[in-house]
Amino acid sequence: MTPAITGFGSALPDTAEQTELWHGFFAAHFGDSALARRLFSAVGVHRRHTVANPVEEDLSGWSTAARMRRFDEQAPPLGHRAVRTALSAAGLDPQEIGLLTVASCTGYGTPGLDIKLAGSLGLRPDLRRLFVGHMGCYAALPALGGVVDFVAARGQPAVLLCLELTSLHIQPPTADPQQIVSHALFGDAAVAVVVHPRAAGLAVTDLVAFTDTSGLDHMTWDITDLGFRMGLSPQVPDVLARHLGPVVGDLLDRNGLDLADVTGWAVHPGGPRILDTVEETLGLPAKALRESRNVLAEHGNCSSATLLLVLHELTTSGMRPGSHVVALAFGPGLTLYAALLRVTG
């Protein structure tokens, strides 16, 4: 059997309403800018989850070292909860796991989150571990590809955890529209999946990648003395539109499928313009990206964890065995990853 996702688990910090964030902090932070007000209401986010709610504490002047200490406090318990939930959903004991892969671009330290989780979860001492760092929003798919390869080669179940605490990287006041958009979009989440070699679930059948290095400066995530700083060019949707059709077409063609054979679409909701671009470029019906838009509204953009939230929502929508799903994620590079999955019964 093809390795399949058999369990999902998520752990979310406290909820913060978008309007409360604006009126309680960001309006003053951005000097009551009309542009900032417009962007905050236009990004499609209704609420987010944060370990550091700026209404209650302003981290914008914190050093990167202080932010990493907070990551080290907050990330392990969230990751633990997410993985435990995924293992329970898959009906597996921690001792059955052969590989733990952790993806994050928002916090670092050694011993890392993967080692700490191996201890707190009671994973076996000969466990293989892999940390995927600083890839950004698309990291879930290359990380999932590595997990699937391990499961297929070794015949052992594995866990992937995507954990992002973007709220730790709030930046000092600025008039830069790219910074305003990122502060309006991003939230925190920990999401884990279990991949099993011989069980029904969401089978991962193929994966493709495409990177346009002419857009290296279009999406950036720079480490500064005051946390990590996002760069987000408005040209990103236009660049993606040029490559999206050929990449998805190649993925489907080599598996003997076309667009009409795809039942579900799990698209990383980098923002409403990204989702509109995917919809228009591929000629998808409005309801095709319903789950992606729901996740954006309820969670914001949680970087690498977001796509797993969308996949989980899709799996609860009642898709029949044999249904095909295409997952799409985008990030720095500019990079586009696409995966083909199939519901097995």
Which active-site residues does the annotation give? 137
User: 20 to each of 28, 206, 270, how far by Cα in Å?
Assistant: 12, 42, 22
Which distant-in-sequence residues (6+ apart) come within 8 Å of 95 by Cβ? 122, 123, 124
CA distance 89 to 67: 32
CA distance 117 to 95: 13
Which one, of 191, 196, 6, lies nearest residue 102 by Cα? 191
Tokens of 120: 């707190």
* Residue 61 φ/ψ, nearest 5 degrees: -105, 5
Alpha-helical segments (H) within 155-271: 177-185, 236-253
- CA 310, chain centre distance (Å): 9
